[in-house]
Amino acid sequence: MARNSIIIFTDGSSIPEQGVIVAALIVNTTSNKTRFTGTTESVSNFEAELMGIQLATDLIQEETTMNKFKTKRKKIAEKLATLAKGIAALIHQLRAGDVPLNDHLTRIKSISNYKCPECSRRETINHFLLYCHAYRKARNKFRKTIIKNKMKTNFYKSELILDSPDAFLALGQYIMDTNRFPHIRNYLKHQS
């Protein structure tokens, strides 16, 4: 077996009248995912097994996403701890690829439309951070803050923005300025 191989175990079971449970885990790590659907859908055991494999592909994507960052996790965690919890959670979700943007919500079958509510393009993390014309004003303000404070990040690459703890406060302000996650404003009001 190749040195950089990943070993994954998956399982899925459909229990009539109770629902479907699926699981995936990567051997020799703490990475795992489970999902329980309840009795809302009728699924065969074979389909449940396939759902387990889909969970594994999500897990692999998360692992490779987290590994593309160079900054030590401890430094990231320390910086996130200084931010308001709602903003810190969203930045963490952006880093993990599990942010409630329509592309991700479609992938996990939470919604059926992957399009940006502002411009009808696929709403990915890159789209949200770098390209959506509706957030141009907020993005320009974010970039000016980065330049003014001489932060070392390339604001034309989402991976580098998300790997720059010094830019997290400005990124949090960008998130607020876009108003893409309006529930965060309510959360922050109740938090203070």
Residues 105 and 187 both lie in one domain? yes
Higher pLDDT, 23 or 61: 23
Half-sphere exposure of 62 (CA within 13 A, CB side): 20
Query: For the whole model, what pTM was predicted?
Result: 0.65
Q: Ramachandran region of residue 179, left (φ > 0), alpha (ψ -120 to 50) or beta?
A: left
Residue 41, in any domain of the structure: yes
Q: Can you give the pLDDT at residue 164?
A: 93
Residue 41 is part of which domain span?
8-67
Cross-strand bridge partners of residue 12: 22
pLDDT confidence tier of residue 97, bands split at 50, 70 and 90: confident
- How many domains does the chain fold into? 2
Burial readout 68-93 (b: 16 or more C-beta within 10 A, e: otherwise): eeeeeeeebeebbeebeebbbbbbbb
Residue 3, in any domain of the structure: no
Q: Can you give the pLDDT at residue 176?
A: 94
What is the per-residue pLDDT across 124-137, written as a single tens digit (0 to 9) for each? 999 999 999 999 99
Contact 6, 16 (CB under 8 A): no
